[in-house]
Amino acid sequence: MYQLQPLQTDHWQALLKFELDNQQWFEKWIEPRPAGFYQQQQFLHNIESLVEQSSCSDYAMYLYVDAQSILGRFNIINIDRQTAEIGYRLAEHATGKGVATAGLQALMKKAKSQLKLQQLTARVTIDNTASQKVLLNNGFVRDLSADNFLLIKGVKTEVLHFSVLL
């Protein structure tokens, strides 16, 4: 069974494995991580910072896990009163199985019940149709007026904006 767990410092080794195992997969969709990101001490420091930020209510970071491993990262960022932005990344082996849709459903429940948020927003590149589908399956709607462009690996890429009321 899958479970959404708050990010804790003691997750750092499993999370580093998740990031390394899926590095090439992630870099198909986003900019590569900065030099040194995968060094153990730097990675642990980054996780400690994220956990601290989560405790200050600016961010809420979660891991979506099964009994054996981390399947994905689900984050709520830029929390501003009743609105926040979400983001997620899934292990390549977990894609196409409904894991992202279920993980986002669990994240939305936490956003509403624990963080008392009323609206979530998300951004996704135009070529990431799987993430668009996950958002739409969870009730997000596209905000055409907010679409813009982003440089990813030096290429101007269209970014679509979505939102949902909780």
Pull the structure tokens for residue 38. 């995968």
Residues 115 and 157: their CA atoms lie apart, in Å, by: 32
Q: Which residues contact 117 (CB under 8 A, 6 or more apart)?
A: 76, 79, 82, 83, 84, 111, 166
pLDDT digit string, tens, across residues 54-113: 877 788 999 999 988 999 999 999 998 899 999 999 999 999 999 999 999 999 999 999
Split into its structural domains, the chain has a count of 1
pTM score, whole prediction: 0.89
Cβ count within 10 A of residue 30: 14
Confidence (pLDDT) at 141: 98
Residues 84 and 166: their CA atoms lie apart, in Å, by: 11
Q: Which residues contact 119 (CB under 8 A, 6 or more apart)?
A: 82, 83, 84, 163, 164, 165, 166
Name the 3-class secondary structure at 67: coil
Per-residue confidence band for 122, with pLDDT thresholds at 50, 70 and 90:
very high
Q: Which residues contact 134 (CB under 8 A, 6 or more apart)?
A: 88, 100, 101, 104
CATH number of the domain encompassing residue 108: 3.40.630.30
Domain of residue 118, residue span: 3-165
